[in-house]
């Protein structure tokens, strides 16, 4: 590996300069007046992939921003094929006055590069571009088959990614997807996220009388939609925070004893985590730790509720209707559509007398989990070990990354989430930054990963 | 009585013309640009009371609009003293475009006068002015002692009435208060309201994390203030709608068997009443009828609730806080301050782990009840019988009329609610009207009431 690592070390400044060039482009996908800049970032990467010597590079138009698609398949059919994913669009930089240096004038301070997109995701995506270059320019071909797609709409929900995946399904065929768009568990603590939760997001409306009533004249003789809604919500979980919807847990895959054991060893400071959000005591499903509850167990949370008078003082109204947004985070093997149906049926079954209800299924997303014995994960762990000098942690995250479920559903493969950022990188916030040390270590880890991976048969 | 009734009959047109003059004055207390008109209405009534020959009439300034205060105490100390109350201010007339004829151009159609204030309360207040005139102009003095106060701030909550009652407490001393500012149970169905509910209006806020959280990253491990609030509300009533606050019913006076029996005979069409508000089935405290629930039993109703995301679609937020307005209608002998305290203590006792709460006591009001054997009620019943040719109904109402509790608290007397309006009079709405037949019958009933009352010793 030393040849490759030497190449990285001796090209550090140029890699950084190139990254700065990319970071200077305000490729904000949420604002159409940056359309030209989004295109410029796409073209920059297209040219990059071509100049480093990939076999085939094309700019694929979509209904939105283009996807840059590169392929290099010299390793042969008996070697694994890895599909690298990244995105070149960025969040808007507002509020601008909170930035110490301008968001699109990348600046190096204390070993970090400050710029919008530094960590999310230009810096992390560019890691793999430079890793591929390292292989190709070091006089040796890449030992596995490489495909790379770089999209420009991640920050607006990737509306055209699934259509792209479906259109190019055959060309995208691979053994795994590699994504660097997450964070390490802590500084200098390489981490692999192997599980993400899914989501079923519902709206529950409760209708009572045909108009708002005077609570004096009518109160006591008419069902109150707000009281009815509260009663229904209270029946959704028991005193141990166990969700009461019949069948809810039937398909859920619980943590294995090995996972729980590994989880207990993660450097997670519960007191600090709760303290940061101003909470004195953890709260949740009985029998599980805070870390397990937030990442590996399904939930039912109200996201919003409304009804009646919300202003100052007192208004004696008995409201005609009430509503709530209620979402459930799901664990692997729970089908969001089935959960939405069970939720709806349960609501009908616990609806109090005197009201009617309407349940709307807003959207859902599958959970995702890469088996811990998947060879891609093993190769990633080895690569981390060789570069960072320590075993990576394996952890599950409580949020959802819809594209990971999309890759699994459309391409039928696992995703390896090899994050080089930190939770403190201020992504989506002013003063976003990325540690250059992890930019370089990331390139080396990617280089090494491709090498280790070649030892496995797909 | 025939002399008096003849006087009323032969002066009908003049009485109506005078009422129209009063109704032409836009005495809207809620809008300061009608200040001059409010004053004009006050002066109109001051002059009226003087011209009909009351002993003493004065305009009493307050921090707001004046109170017209008239006295006529010729009957002597062994005769009852009745204090008549009415108000000369009116609701704003908006929306103007829904009025068939202008709100301050009184118009007669189908035996009704259409104008803002026709029923609420100029028309009903003027009944008693003309009843006093009838006595004084018929060559016979009023057989009981009469005091009358006409205020100009009822539609903005009577902020200066209690200060006025306290300031003039000795001068206002009386044996009962007579108010015509309510409705009859049905057309041609004279009704006396003898009970009103009180009110304790609370706000309950629930605080969780120090900021809104991502429901994926934190959900399941942190108490959700909205869920916590729903749980608390669900514990406030049981499945029979019995309020679970310890001590809540301790002081409440329940319906007597006689009252329930009388209530069953009231011409109340439950199906029609529920149908008008679009509700298929009544709902409330087990063991009580709809009529009993809405008027004679205490309640606990949510008047408003809020928290988290209330917009379109989905936002995966775990809110930092949630809140609700919750009010309880009270029955006679329940003290709003004590109930507010019990509510607060109960909230503390059922607060789930992981959140803090704040309870605010917004305002309260005492319930009021005039004993059915009170001689003033008997006199009123006799007067109705003699004019309408039928016994009046005795009913309790679910709403609160704060001034009635104020009279009881400050002056220590019962109030007789002798309403001549109808629930269909469209008070507070466009096309408010008042049946002229009931204007005239009201004057006769008031005349007769003063006569019958003189047979009783205070």
The DSSP string of B159-196 is TTHHHHHHHTTTTT--SEEEE--SEESBTTB-EEEEEE
Cβ within 8 Å, pair B227-A221: no
Query: Which residue, of B345, B364, B383, is where some domain finishes?
Result: B364
What's the CA gap between A65 and A56, in Å, rounded?
Answer: 20
Q: Are residue B65 and residue B125 in the same domain, yes or no?
A: yes
Question: How many helices (H) and strands (E) would you count in chain A?
Answer: 13, 20
Of the two residues B458 and B294, the one the predictor is more confident about is B294
Q: Are residue B214 and residue B359 in the same domain, yes or no?
A: yes
Q: Report chain B residues whose CB lies below 8 A from the CB of A318.
A: 301, 303
> Does any domain span residue A67?
yes
Instruction: For residue A154, indicate whether it is catalytic.
Output: yes
> Does any domain span residue A291?
no
Q: B50: alpha, beta or left, given left = phi > 0 and alpha = psi -120 to 50?
A: alpha
Of B225, B209, B231, B318, the closest CA to residue A303 belongs to B318
Q: For residues B320 and B188, is the Cβ–Cβ distance under 8 A?
A: no
User: Positive or negative CA dihedral for B391, B394, B397, B403?
Assistant: positive
- Structure tokens belonging to residue B251: 């002081």
Cβ within 8 Å, pair A294-B218: yes
Tell me the nearest-neighbour CA distance from B198 into chain A, angstroms: 9
Interface confidence, given as ipTM, is 0.87
Q: Are residue B192 and residue B210 in the same domain, yes or no?
A: no
Q: For residues A185 and A390, is the Cβ–Cβ distance under 8 A?
A: no
- DSSP 8-state symbol, A256: P
A212 to chain B: closest CA residue: B277
Q: Report chain A residues whose CB lies below 8 A from the CB of B306.
A: 305-306, 310
What's the CA gap between A305 and B321, in Å, rounded?
Answer: 11
Q: Is residue B71 predicted with pLDDT exceeding 80?
A: yes
User: Which of B210, B221, B301 has its CB closest to that of A215?
Assistant: B301
Q: Are residue A352 and residue A430 in the same domain, yes or no?
A: no
Query: Which residue, of A364, A392, A408, is where some domain finishes?
Result: A364
**pLDDT (0 to 100) of residue A121:** 96
Of A343, A361, A355, A353, the closest CA to residue A236 belongs to A343
Task: Dump pLDDT digits (tens) for B119-157.
Answer: 999 999 999 999 999 999 988 899 999 999 999 999 888
Q: What does the pLDDT profile of chain A (458 residues) look like in tens digits? A: 678 999 999 999 999 999 999 999 999 999 999 999 999 999 999 999 999 999 999 999 999 999 999 999 999 999 999 999 999 999 999 889 999 999 999 999 999 999 999 999 999 999 999 999 999 998 889 999 999 999 999 988 899 999 999 999 999 999 999 999 998 988 999 999 999 999 999 999 999 999 899 898 899 999 999 999 999 999 999 999 999 999 999 999 999 999 999 899 888 999 999 999 999 889 999 999 999 999 999 999 999 999 999 998 888 899 999 999 999 999 999 999 999 999 999 999 999 999 999 999 997 889 999 999 999 999 999 999 999 999 999 999 998 888 999 999 999 999 999 999 998 898 888 999 999 999 999 999 999 999 999 999 88
> Does any domain span residue A260?
no
Cβ within 8 Å, pair A216-B307: no
Q: Are residue B419 and residue B399 in the same domain, yes or no?
A: yes
> Does any domain span residue A449?
yes
Phi first, then psi, for residue A412 (nearest 5°) are: 70, 30
> Does any domain span residue B424?
yes
Cβ within 8 Å, pair A307-B302: yes
> Does any domain span residue A426?
yes
> Does any domain span residue B262?
no
Q: Are residue A432 and residue A416 in the same domain, yes or no?
A: yes
What's the CA gap between A110 and A108, in Å, rounded?
Answer: 7
Among A200, A202, A216, the residue to mutate for chain B (most B Cβ within 10 A): A216
- For A3-39, b/e burial (b = at least 16 CB within 10 A) is ebbebbeebeeebbebbbebbbbbbbbeeeebeebbb
Alpha-helical regions (H) of A121-160: 122-137
At A417 the three-state DSSP class reads strand
B364 to chain A: closest CA residue: A314
Mean pLDDT score, B54-69: 97
At A356 the three-state DSSP class reads strand
- DSSP 8-state symbol, A139: T
Q: Is residue B316 predicted with pLDDT exceeding 90?
A: no
Q: For residues B253 and B331, is the Cβ–Cβ distance under 8 A?
A: yes
pTM: 0.87
A–B: how many Cβ contacts below 8 A? 272
Q: Are residue A14 and residue A145 in the same domain, yes or no?
A: yes
Q: For residues B205 and A262, is the Cβ–Cβ distance under 8 A?
A: no
At B313, the pLDDT band (50, 70, 90 cuts) reads: confident
Domain that holds residue B138: 2-196+367-453
Task: Dump pLDDT digits (tens) for A95-145.
Answer: 899 999 999 999 999 999 999 999 999 999 999 999 999 999 988 899 999
Of A425, A400, A419, A432, the closest CA to residue A92 belongs to A432
User: Beta-carbon neighbour count of residue B104 at 10 Å?
Assistant: 18
Query: Which residue, of A364, A394, A414, is where some domain finishes?
Result: A364
What's the CA gap between B458 and B446, in Å, rounded?
Answer: 18
Q: Report chain A residues whose CB lies below 8 A from the CB of B429.
A: none
Q: Which helix (H) or strand (E) holds B257?
A: helix B257-264
Q: For residues A331 and A197, is the Cβ–Cβ distance under 8 A?
A: yes
Q: For residues B28 and B91, is the Cβ–Cβ distance under 8 A?
A: yes
**pLDDT (0 to 100) of residue A116:** 96
What's the CA gap between A328 and B316, in Å, rounded?
Answer: 10
Using DSSP bridges, classify how beta strands B107-109 and A67-72 pair: parallel, antiparallel or unpaired. Answer: unpaired
Cβ within 8 Å, pair A199-B317: no
> Does any domain span residue B277?
no
**pLDDT (0 to 100) of residue B428:** 86
**pLDDT (0 to 100) of residue A1:** 64
Q: Are residue A112 and residue A224 in the same domain, yes or no?
A: no
Q: For residues A128 and A139, is the Cβ–Cβ distance under 8 A?
A: no
Which candidate in A46, A89, A408, A451 is catalytic?
Answer: A89
Tell me the CATH number at A246: 3.30.70.360
Map tokens 């917004």 to a residue.
B362
Q: Report chain B residues whose CB lies below 8 A from the CB of A305.
A: 226, 230, 305-308, 310, 322
Q: Are residue B374 and residue B409 in the same domain, yes or no?
A: yes
User: Which of A227, A294, A308 has its CB closest to that of B217?
Assistant: A294
Q: Is residue B109 predicted with pLDDT exceeding 70?
A: yes
User: Which of A227, A279, A399 has its CB closest to that of B222?
Assistant: A279
Alpha-carbon torsion angle A240, B314, A119, A85, nearest 10: 100
**pLDDT (0 to 100) of residue B139:** 81
Q: Are residue A36 and residue A185 in the same domain, yes or no?
A: yes
What's the CA gap between B446 and B129, in Å, rounded?
Answer: 10
Task: Dump pLDDT digits (tens) for B16-49.
Answer: 999 999 999 999 999 999 999 999 999 999 999 9
Which candidate in B46, B89, B432, B451 is catalytic?
Answer: B89
Instruction: For residue B153, indicate whether it is catalytic.
Output: no
β-partners of residue A438 are none
Q: Are residue B133 and residue B177 in the same domain, yes or no?
A: yes
Of B204, B203, B244, the closest CA to residue B355 belongs to B204
- Structure tokens belonging to residue A95: 């509020």
B419: Cβ–Cβ under 8 A, 6 or more apart, which residues? B124, B180, B181, B182, B183, B184, B191, B193
User: Positive or negative CA dihedral for A242, A245, A247, A248?
Assistant: negative
Tell me the nearest-neighbour CA distance from B15 into chain A, angstroms: 33
Tell me the CATH number at A123: 3.40.630.10
What's the CA gap between B100 and A60, in Å, rounded?
Answer: 66
Q: Are residue B90 and residue B176 in the same domain, yes or no?
A: yes
Mean pLDDT score, B366-385: 95
User: Which of A219, A317, A398 has its CB closest to that of B220?
Assistant: A398
Q: How many domains does chain B have?
A: 2
């Amino acid at each position: 590996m030393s040849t490759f690592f030497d190449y990285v070390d001796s090209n550090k400044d140029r890699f950084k300069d190139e990254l700065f060039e990319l970071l200077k482009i305000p490729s904000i996908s949420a604002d159409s007046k940056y359309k030209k800049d989004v295109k410029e970032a796409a073209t920059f990467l297209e040219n990059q992939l071509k100049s480093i010597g990939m076999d085939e590079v094309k700019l694929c138009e979509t209904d939105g921003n283009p996807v840059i698609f590169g392929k290099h398949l010299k390793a042969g059919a008996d070697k694994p094929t890895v599909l690298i994913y990244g995105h070149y669009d960025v969040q808007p930089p507002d509020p601008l006055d909170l930035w110490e240096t301008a968001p699109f004038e990348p600046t190096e301070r204390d070993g970090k590069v400050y710029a919008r997109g530094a960590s999310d995701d230009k810096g992390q995506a560019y890691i793999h571009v430079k890793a591929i270059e390292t292989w190709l320019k070091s006089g040796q071909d890449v030992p596995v088959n490489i495909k790379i797609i770089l999209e420009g709409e991640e920050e607006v929900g990737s509306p055209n990614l699934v259509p792209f995946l479906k259109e190019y399904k055959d060309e995208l065929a691979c053994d795994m997807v590699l994504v660097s768009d997450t964070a390490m568990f802590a500084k200098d603590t390489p981490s692999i996220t192997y599980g993400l939760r899914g989501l079923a997001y519902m709206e529950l409306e409760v209708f009572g009388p045909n108009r708002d009533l005077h609570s004096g004249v009518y109160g006591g003789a008419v069902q109150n939609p707000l009281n009815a809604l509260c009663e229904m919500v209270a029946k959704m979980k028991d005193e141990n925070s166990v969700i009461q919807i019949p069948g809810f847990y039937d398909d859920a895959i619980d943590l294995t004893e090995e996972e729980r054991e590994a989880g207990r060893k993660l450097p997670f400071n519960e007191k600090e985590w709760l303290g940061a959000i101003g909470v004195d005591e953890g709260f949740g499903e009985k029998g599980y730790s805070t870390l397990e509850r937030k990442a590996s167990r399904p939930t039912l949370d109200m996201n919003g509720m409304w009804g009646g008078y919300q202003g100052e003082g007192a208004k004696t109204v008995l409201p005609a209707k009430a509503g709530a947004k209620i979402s459930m985070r799901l664990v692997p093997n729970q089908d969001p559509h089935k959960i939405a149906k069970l939720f709806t049926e349960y609501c009908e079954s616990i609806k109090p007398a005197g009201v009617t209800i309407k349940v709307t299924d807003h959207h859902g997303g599958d959970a995702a989990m890469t088996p811990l014995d998947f060879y891609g994960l093993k190769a990633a762990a080895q690569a981390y070990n060789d570069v960072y000098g320590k075993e990576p942690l394996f952890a599950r995250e409580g949020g959802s990354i819809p594209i990971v479920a999309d890759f699994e559903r459309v391409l039928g493969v696992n995703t390896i989430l090899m994050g080089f950022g930190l939770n403190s990188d201020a992504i989506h916030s002013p003063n976003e930054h990325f540690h250059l040390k992890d930019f370089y270590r990331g390139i080396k880890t990617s280089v090494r990963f491709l090498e280790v991976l070649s030892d496995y048969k797909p």
